[in-house]
Amino acid sequence: MSDLMTTRAALQETMTFLGAIASGIEEAIGESANSITYLAGKRLGMQLSANIQKTDDVEEALEAVHKVLLDNNCLWHFETFKTHDRPALVQATDSGDEDLQLVFRDCMIRQSLFRFGHHQKGSLCTMMFGFFSGALLNVMGVDSTLEILHAGENACLKRLVIHRKKGDDQ
């Protein structure tokens, strides 16, 4: 077995265990589980991206987050996605924020949830949202929101909103 396969198998076993913990915490404390895992993910995102280069450009920031994930052996492959009816990849919202869509194809969390038989959109997914928020806060200096538009067996489509402060250059 190759080193990559051995590493991936060990990670998958750990994530299966984490799926069982997530199921238990959700059952025990209910909706509060999402808040707890979001904050844990945000702290992790901030810690792992502490020394990252700063940028105001959304696409450069996503490349930086991708590098942080790779450098820390996190298998959350994502890519930007532009539907035919969107004039641009990154769009300004009425509130002055920016949004874009991301596709997550190789997601260790989704794979673990399926292997454990646990539903998507729960506390482990919320932990990933927190990770992105923490990492992007370090990279861009602004808050962000990641929400699921579609959760599927082979990929998830998410909307990333960068919350620009009033007066920030866009």
- The secondary structure of the chain, three-state, reads CCHHHHHHHHHHHHHHHHHHHHHHHHHHHCCHHHHHHHHHHHHHHHHHCCCCCCCCCHHHHHHHHHHHHHHCCCCEEEEEECCCCCCCCCEECCCCCEEEEEEEEEEHHHHHHHHHCCCCCCHHHHHHHHHHHHHHHHHHCCEEEEEEEEECCCCEEEEEEEECCCCCCC
User: Cα 29 vs. chain centroid, distance in angstroms?
Assistant: 23
pLDDT at 125 (0 to 100): 86
pLDDT at 38 (0 to 100): 93
CA angle 62, 56, 64 (to 5 degrees): 25
**Do 61 and 55 meet the contact criterion of CB atoms below 8 Å apart?**
yes
Please determine, for residue 109, whether its predicted confidence score (pLDDT) is greater than 90.
no
Confidence of residue 48 (pLDDT cuts 50, 70, 90): very high
d(CA 8, CA 135): 23
Confidence of residue 129 (pLDDT cuts 50, 70, 90): very high
Q: Which percentage of the chain shows pLDDT scores above 90?
A: 49
Please determine, for residue 3, whether its predicted confidence score (pLDDT) is greater than 90.
no
Please determine, for residue 166, whether its predicted confidence score (pLDDT) is greater than 60.
no
pLDDT at 24 (0 to 100): 75
List 96's β-bridge partners, or say none: none
Element (H, E) at 30: none
59-77: average pLDDT: 90
pLDDT at 170 (0 to 100): 44
Per residue in 133-163, pLDDT (tens digit) is: 999 999 999 999 999 999 888 889 999 999 9
**The pTM of the whole model exceeds 0.75:** yes
d(CA 137, CA 120): 25
Amino acid letter, 98: E
pLDDT at 11 (0 to 100): 65
Per residue in 75-96, pLDDT (tens digit) is: 788 999 999 999 999 999 888 8
Amino acid letter, 38: Y
